Amino acid sequence: MNATQRQTPEFLSDNALQLLATGVEYFPALITAIDSAAHEVHLETYIFANDETGQRVAAALARAARRGVAVRILVDGFGARDFATGLGAALITDGVELLVYRPQPRQRRLHWHRLRRLHRKLVVIDGRLAFVGGINIISDFDAGMSGPRFDYAVSIEGPLVNVIHTDMRHMWHIVRWSHLGHRPHAPDFQPQPQPPAGTIQAALVIRDNLRHRRDIEEAYLEAMDSAQKEIILANAYFLPGKRFREALIAAAQRGVKVTLLLQGRADYLLQHHAMQAIYDSLLNAGVQIFEYQMSYLHAKVAVIDGEWATVGSSNIDPFSLLLSREANVILLDSPFALGLAAHLRLALSRDAVEIHRGTQHRSWLMRQINSAAYALVRLLVGMAGYGKHYTTPEPG
């Protein structure tokens, strides 16, 4: 198989999945699961902050390790660059095994390979319960915001847990062998295949630099191309390539109601302004765009025709779709999809502002800033060597 060829997601039946909205629901469920662990806790995260939330999760991991549970933590070397010398160092003394994906070197010269980050947020408990989503281990509340960070995760029971567990172990082995000197032990706990736990068909879809370079993007494109009624997409960092944008426009032009819920409060200015530069082309095609205002939007979810849904870590931008290691769950289940859609519609009506065609409230100067940011992102993508793989649309 060609290295860039897409692998079709393998949907497994008989799963039970529960939607967890924001860290308010996620962190209590995660800590309860860690406290119930009898054999193994395996956790991957981009950020593991030394704040009140991070300390609560770390305390649960330490308790598990002290009672003899094998606890393995894999963090990103940029997103969690201080973890190994802070909370991580204390956890190691309790018996936790820690690996860092691509540790940041002391010298700060720009090399494009450093943009390849571990952006996944995955947890498996005893090979029987998994969590997948976009929520980092960090406080859910930002200063000056009137609500928690807007994000999602899912808890999973059933046969799909074995797939997630196997993929996490594979990643652990890859990072383990990349470390010189002392390496943590290879996992020895072997969970049994998980029995049926529900009625949901679901698949794990990942993005990496070998056999799964475009799997997440292609899964979105296939679902959007077959959409007949409605596409609702919420994404924190939205700067789609040409094929993705054309799929949204084509859906809107054939009568599909296409609604985007995007970041309204800028946390990364370059990406935020580049995103706003492409609004006009989407609005002119009939796509509805809303900007979330209550807090930072960090979600990476979508619902199509009330049947297809995805929850995960992948943004719709060059960094997630071309460089980072990402993980999404895709579900074929009407009750779940309709529940997620209802949650998104509530946010659209209560906490977001619609951007209308021809009445955008940005000044001429702001439009010039947006265009310049967009041009800079295109330049960076080209310099990184991905221009032929990721053609960003012209703004306007």
pLDDT in tens, 21-39: 999 999 999 999 999 999 9
Could you read off the pLDDT of 230-246 as tens digits, one per residue? 999 999 999 998 899 99
Based on the fold, state whether residues 117 and 29 are members of the same structural domain.
yes
Q: What is the CATH number of the domain that holds 70?
A: 3.30.870.10
Based on the fold, state whether residues 334 and 304 are members of the same structural domain.
yes
How many domains does the chain fold into?
2
**Could you identify the residue written with the tokens 């998980």?**
194
Average pLDDT over every residue of 247-263 = 97
Based on the fold, state whether residues 224 and 81 are members of the same structural domain.
no
Assess whether pLDDT exceeds 80 at residue 305: yes
Asked if the structure places residue 392 within a domain, the reply is: no
Q: Residue 379's pLDDT is what?
A: 67
Based on the fold, state whether residues 155 and 226 are members of the same structural domain.
no
Share of the chain above pLDDT 70, in %: 86
Based on the fold, state whether residues 158 and 214 are members of the same structural domain.
no
Based on the fold, state whether residues 209 and 324 are members of the same structural domain.
yes
**Could you identify the residue written with the tokens 């996992």?**
187
Asked if the structure places residue 305 within a domain, the reply is: yes
Phi (first) and psi of residue 384, to 5 degrees: -75, -5
Average pLDDT, the chain: 89
Could you read off the pLDDT of 164-188 as tens digits, one per residue? 999 999 999 999 887 765 667 767 7
Based on the fold, state whether residues 25 and 129 are members of the same structural domain.
yes
Per-residue confidence at 384, pLDDT binned at 50, 70, 90?
low
Asked if the structure places residue 394 within a domain, the reply is: no
- Pick from 295, 280, 304: which is nearest to 358 by CA? 280
Residue 48 CB burial class (10 angstroms; 0-12, 13-18, ≥19)? buried
Asked if the structure places residue 194 within a domain, the reply is: no
Who wins on pLDDT, 280 or 132? 132
Share of the chain above pLDDT 90, in %: 70
Per-residue confidence at 101, pLDDT binned at 50, 70, 90?
very high
Kind and range of the H or E run holding 13: strand 12-21
Q: Give the contacts of 254 (CB within 8 A, at least 6 positions apart).
A: none
Query: 115: domain range?
Result: 16-178
Q: Which positions are annotated as active-site residues?
A: 119, 121, 126, 298, 300, 305
Assess whether pLDDT exceeds 50 at residue 3: no
Per-residue confidence at 4, pLDDT binned at 50, 70, 90?
very low
Based on the fold, state whether residues 59 and 111 are members of the same structural domain.
yes
Based on the fold, state whether residues 99 and 233 are members of the same structural domain.
no
- Tell how far CA 155 is from the center of its chain: 15
Based on the fold, state whether residues 161 and 228 are members of the same structural domain.
no
Asked if the structure places residue 248 within a domain, the reply is: yes
Based on the fold, state whether residues 153 and 206 are members of the same structural domain.
no
